[in-house]
A and B are shown apart, each in its own frame.
Chain A
Amino acid sequence: MPKNSRENLIQWLTYTGLTLAAIMATLPFIWMMLSSFMTRGETLRRVFFPKALQWANYVEAWSEEDFGLYFENSLWISFLVVGGTLLFSMMAAYPLARMEFRGREPIFVVILATLMVPETVTMVPNFLTVSWLNHVSPVPWLNNWPALTIPFMTSAFSIFLLRQFMRGIPGELYEAARIDGAGHLRFLFQIVLPLCRAPLLTVGMFTFIGSWNALGWPLLVTNTPTWRPIAVALQKFVSEAGPEVHLQMAGAVIATIPVLVLYGLVQKEFTEGISMSGLKG
């Protein structure tokens, strides 16, 4: 075989393989979209395309068991958790990356070690802590936003990622800022912060996804719909007596939209940030 046509064949095979994988990756999404527009009867028969788009499914899913309320709760919870995580992690990552003090390395190792602790270990003690805080603090914690947000307002992963990035910022910048009379805090917020755009957006996106997915802990610390997040609603949707498939799919689509919108906004930085996390690990 002449060399050129052999290379063409390889190229063609490569694209075919990649396209097949892409179909596998997106098929469940297509299935989700299509099913969410079907009638109940269509989901039970072997049809692939709905005859007419049933927009009413979305209206029905939205009103089913306070789904709308749960959705709004999730938005608030994620918003608070992301804001808190970004602020606190910045403030923790900076000294770990830039400042010299005793015990810096051990502190960092302990922070990283918390990555390995399963959520189930901390669940019971945290529930007890939160119940105690519920009694002593002026704001109730259980069935309220503090229990759902404050314990998650930082994470080892976000501190790690930000620290790795901040170590790459040249020390001369700090020297220059100090000569101009800026302290650590001012340097952090005026110079480091704008430089950390990509890792901050990555951490924000990760935290948002994590918070949006949380299921076990919210089940534990809430027992009324007032602050229950969307994960709980979806779990109720699929439990034995939940709504039918087309409504479940409509609910899944609704639950996906905010994350996809955010991803669309930060896509470039997020992919960059993720790639970086692996390179330096």
Chain B
Amino acid sequence: MSPALVVLGVFGIFPIGYAFFVSLHRWRIKKETVVGFSHYAKALGDPVWLLCLALGFGLLLLARCCRRRSDTTTQRLASLALLGVSAVLALRGFVGMCQTGDLRLFNAFKVTVFYALGTIPCEIVGALLLAYLLFRIPRARGFFRILYFLPFITPMIATAVVFRTIFSPNPGSLANRFWTLFGAGDQRWLQESRTVPALLLQGLGLSNYPSWVDTAFPSLALVCVVLYNIWVYIGYDTVILLAGLSAIPRHYFEAAAIDGASQWQQFRHVTLPLISPTLFFITLVAVIGTFKAFNHIYIMRTAGAQDTVDVASVLIFDQIYQYHTAGYASALALILFVAILLLTVVQNRLLGRRVFYGD
């Protein structure tokens, strides 16, 4: 097993430590000066606010523990108050970080979160529906499965190029043709940096909407990227879920049917618990995947979309490849890594408990 360990060790594990070392330096092509943690301070803002945020979250956990144990009304009220305080503390810390930290980083995180929230639920619910339908049909299951799987196996660098033309502002693009079928005007799609609600409001002739509409929602360009991503991964999830469904012993359904369970009850109380490990697996893969996403977004980004589709990896790659600020880029990358780690832990705690592994 040694060659694999050498490769993984040298190019997979050692770099994490090395990246930390690099992040403590001013580093352009060559090592220059030691700057300590100032890259982190530049990215995350005043450490006071980070501490504030961490404290808020710590208290939040504590408040949750207290709430569960409290029996009397006073105890309940106290834990509720604690909950409020911790929420305010966490929020204040977060706002402080946004004000003093690197705006581009927080924008990138915002985009990443939009991207993940837009992609993962749609992808999994859609795949669950498709897998369930596929499971019920007697014929042509294999045929449909191959078709659904095509987007996943086709290289994303090629399909991203295709979607770039589908969602191009060109009046001949597929998206615009489809859109104009409904009598609406041409859109700029991947070139559009304005948010979807802002576009709607402007389309209705309302131009004096509050300014947060411009920042609190994903841009149309990002929505296109999200649609693309759903298109790619839904087939993969479907295949995995279908395998999960097929592994459920038939007699469970028969028993439920004899007990008079309706289709929905069967789905809710038999199917869903039994495929929950599979669901958990694809959610985990999807979350890690969206936070690491890079290649297709790098291809689909346009000048017109400005920074509204630049997820964290794209921002970091720009720092390395365009600005040659390796030290700062490493600090950003490690922050992303820690974010992924925390998210995975939280996900394990929250969702992992609901997974039913049988006995």
Interface residues of chain A, those whose CB is within 8 Å of chain B, are 11, 14-15, 17-18, 21-22, 24-29, 31-32, 35, 43-47, 87-89, 91-96, 107, 110-111, 114-129, 150-154, 156, 159, 205, 209, 212-216, 219-220, 230-231, 234-235, 237-238, 240, 245, 248-249, 251-253, 255-256, 259-260, 263, 267, 270-271, 274-279, 281
Q: Given A111-B8, A119-B294, A251-B161, check contact A279 B336 (CB 8 Å).
A: no
Within 8 Å of chain A (Cβ to Cβ): is B146? yes
Contact A118 B313, beta carbon cutoff 8 Å: yes
Q: List chain A residues, Cβ under 8 A from B12.
A: 114, 117, 122, 156
Contact A25 B235, beta carbon cutoff 8 Å: yes
Taking the nearest CB of chain B, how far is it from the CB of A42, in angstroms?
8
Contact B3 A88, beta carbon cutoff 8 Å: yes
| Partner among A114, A212, A238 whose Cβ is within 8 Å of the Cβ of B161 | A238
Q: Does more than half of chain A's interface fall in helix, strand or loop, or is it mixed?
A: helix
Q: Given A28-B162, A88-B4, A124-B22, check contact A256 B155 (CB 8 Å).
A: yes
Contact B247 A279, beta carbon cutoff 8 Å: yes
Interface residues of chain B, those whose CB is within 8 Å of chain A, are 1-5, 7-8, 10-16, 18-19, 22, 27, 130, 133-134, 136-137, 144-151, 153-159, 161-166, 168, 170-172, 174, 177, 231, 234-236, 239-244, 247, 277-278, 280-282, 284, 288, 291-292, 294-295, 298-299, 303, 312-313, 316-317, 320-321, 326, 329-330, 332-334, 336-337, 340-341, 344
Taking the nearest CB of chain B, how far is it from the CB of A65, in angstroms?
14
Offer 23 A-B interface pairs, CB within 8 angstroms, sorted by A.
A14-B136, A18-B137, A29-B162, A31-B174, A118-B313, A118-B337, A120-B316, A121-B337, A122-B19, A123-B317, A128-B22, A150-B11, A153-B7, A159-B4, A216-B321, A220-B320, A234-B161, A248-B165, A255-B155, A260-B154, A274-B239, A278-B244, A281-B280
Q: List chain A residues, Cβ under 8 A from B133.
A: 14, 17-18
Task: Give CA–CA (A127, B239) in the complex, Å.
Answer: 37
Q: List chain B residues, Cβ under 8 A from A276.
A: 243
Q: Given A118-B313, A126-B11, check contact A216 B295 (CB 8 Å).
A: yes
Taking the nearest CB of chain A, how far is it from the CB of B237, in angstroms?
9
Contact A231 B13, beta carbon cutoff 8 Å: no
Residue of A nearest to B163 (CB): A28
Q: List chain B residues, Cβ under 8 A from A235.
A: 157, 298-299
Taking the nearest CB of chain B, how far is it from the CB of A13, in angstroms?
9
Taking the nearest CB of chain A, how far is it from the CB of B109, in angstroms?
13
Task: Give CA–CA (A115, B292) in the complex, Å.
Answer: 10
Taking the nearest CB of chain A, how far is it from the CB of B329, in angstroms?
6
Q: Given A28-B166, A121-B334, check contact A277 B161 (CB 8 Å).
A: no
Contact A209 B153, beta carbon cutoff 8 Å: yes
Q: List chain A residues, Cβ under 8 A from B312.
A: 118, 120
Taking the nearest CB of chain B, how far is it from the CB of A54, in angstroms?
16
Contact A18 B144, beta carbon cutoff 8 Å: yes
Q: Given A117-B337, A274-B240, check contact A281 B165 (CB 8 Å).
A: no
Task: Give CA–CA (A125, B157) in the complex, Å.
Answer: 25
Contact B4 A121, beta carbon cutoff 8 Å: no
Contact B330 A124, beta carbon cutoff 8 Å: yes
Taking the nearest CB of chain A, how far is it from the CB of B246, in angstroms?
8
Contact A275 B239, beta carbon cutoff 8 Å: yes
Residue of B nearest to A130 (CB): B11
Contact A21 B130, beta carbon cutoff 8 Å: yes
Residue of B nearest to A28 (CB): B162
Taking the nearest CB of chain B, how far is it from the CB of A95, in angstroms?
5
Contact A119 B157, beta carbon cutoff 8 Å: no
Q: List chain B residues, Cβ under 8 A from A115.
A: 288
Taking the nearest CB of chain A, how far is it from the CB of B55, in angstroms?
26
Contact B341 A122, beta carbon cutoff 8 Å: no
| Partner among B159, B281, B295, B321 whose Cβ is within 8 Å of the Cβ of A231 | B295
Q: List chain A residues, Cβ under 8 A from B277.
A: 281
Q: Given A213-B295, A215-B295, A216-B317, check contact A124 B163 (CB 8 Å).
A: no
Residue of A nearest to B325 (CB): A124
Taking the nearest CB of chain B, how far is it from the CB of A75, in angstroms?
13
Taking the nearest CB of chain A, how far is it from the CB of B312, in angstroms?
8
Taking the nearest CB of chain A, how far is it from the CB of B183, in angstroms?
15
